[in-house]
Amino acid sequence: MKQTYSAKPNEVEQKWYVVDLEGEVLGRAATKIATILRGKNKPTFTPHMDTGDFVIVLNAGKVQLTGKKWTDKVYYKHSGFIGGMKATTAAKMRETHPERLIEFAVSGMLPKTKLGRKLIKKLKVYTGTEHNHQAQKPEILKLSEIR
């Protein structure tokens, strides 16, 4: 009888990928990025381990939302004090911190555990086309290639 494969920490090989989000839809791009971070696109996927790759996202400010989400989608945060609720629309967030749009969308698709907090640290988001990770020799990845 064949045993179920479970990856060992020293067997995991992690690569670096560059993804350009210019003109891409936020939600569809976030699901594919979360899949790569988690490692579900690899045959060695193990649910309780970090088998995923690093992802560098470029052009975060040029991501698209469908419908009226730029005005209707609201992000909330609370300071912890009475009356400390702050609300920000997606359009306002794109103007001030466009990288947070990607980070919030991807982190919502990762596990809410220690593993998820470790995985989100492997996501590097930049608003322009430049990044400072050339030493890792990242590969360019088209989102259309990922299922």
Q: pLDDT in tens for each of the 147 residues of the chain? A: 778 888 898 999 999 999 999 999 999 999 999 999 999 999 999 999 999 999 999 999 999 999 999 999 999 999 999 999 999 999 999 999 999 999 999 999 999 999 999 999 999 999 999 999 999 999 999 988 887
Cα 63 to Cα 37, 87, 130: the distances in Å are: 19, 21, 16
- Full residue range of the structural domain in which residue 59 is found: 14-66+100-145
Does residue 76 lie in a domain region?
A: no
CATH of the domain at 22: 3.90.1180.10
Number of domains in the chain: 1
Other C-beta atoms closer than 10 Å to the C-beta of 115 total: 16
